Amino acid sequence: MSAARQSPNFGPRRDGATPKLVVIHYTAMADCAGAIRALCDPLREVSAHYLIGRDGQCHALVDEAMRAWHAGAGTWRGIWDVNSHSIGIELDNCGFSPFSAPQMDCLCDLLRGIMARWHIAPEGVIGHSDMAPGRKIDPGPRFDWARLAREGLAVMPEVRAPLAVDPLRFMTDCGQIGYQVEDITLMRDTLRRRFRPHALAKAAPLDGWDCAIAADLAARFGVDRAGHVT
């Protein structure tokens, strides 16, 4: 990890909150140096706990115990102040290119440490697009969620056959996973962006594979009445 450059854009976590989530972003900027300048610019009022360059170098910008300003408006599994309940990781990427091997290696190492320190389960590692559908699309369809899942750092569905198309059940299952979306087209595309990116460009109607993925994840993301992961 590189020497830390402290961003001034942070504050205390509200109401005694501690990290329950890790939110992964991409910078959508030309290079890592420009992203560092933006994340440390007090006029921009944006930051993240970490920024990982394409060369695999990790820049620590905000102490994990503090509230970085990375998530913005959105919600996940009943958490509305995502910044107070999460750690934000920015990846130096334009949004349309593959993520480099050194970058992914560094990310996996970083996630292992964060998840151990804060007792965050793989279900708690999400993309910016998961908690802000329609507003954000990062880390985008080129991000290798499957690798994170193989290393126990995120979740992926285990689906072998499609289900009957049932829009009502699909939306109910997506709500059970943690999404707060009312529009079925937006929900379909949000789920595909993360779990089925090859189907995203087709803009095809909701199908049995979408429904099977949602059902599988809903079963694994089961919640009790208090909203806690079971």
CB 179 within 8 A of CB 133: yes
The span from the CA of 167 to the CA of 172, in Å, is 9
Q: Return the beta strands (E) in 6-84 as ranges.
A: 10-11, 21-26, 50-52, 58-60, 67-68
Any catalytic annotation for residue 45? Answer: no
DSSP assignment, residue 171? H
Characterize the bridge pairing of strands 50-52 and 86-91.
parallel
CB 34 within 8 A of CB 73: no
N-to-C CA span, the chain: 34
Of 161, 198, 155, the C-alpha closest to 177 is: 155
User: Which residue is catalytic, options 45, 64, 90, 158?
Assistant: 90
Q: Which two tokens stand for residue 146?
A: 């499957």
CB 47 within 8 A of CB 61: yes
Any idea what the Cα angle at residue 33 is, between residues 27 and 37, rounded to 5°?
Answer: 80
The span from the CA of 73 to the CA of 151, in Å, is 30
Q: Which residues are catalytic?
A: 90
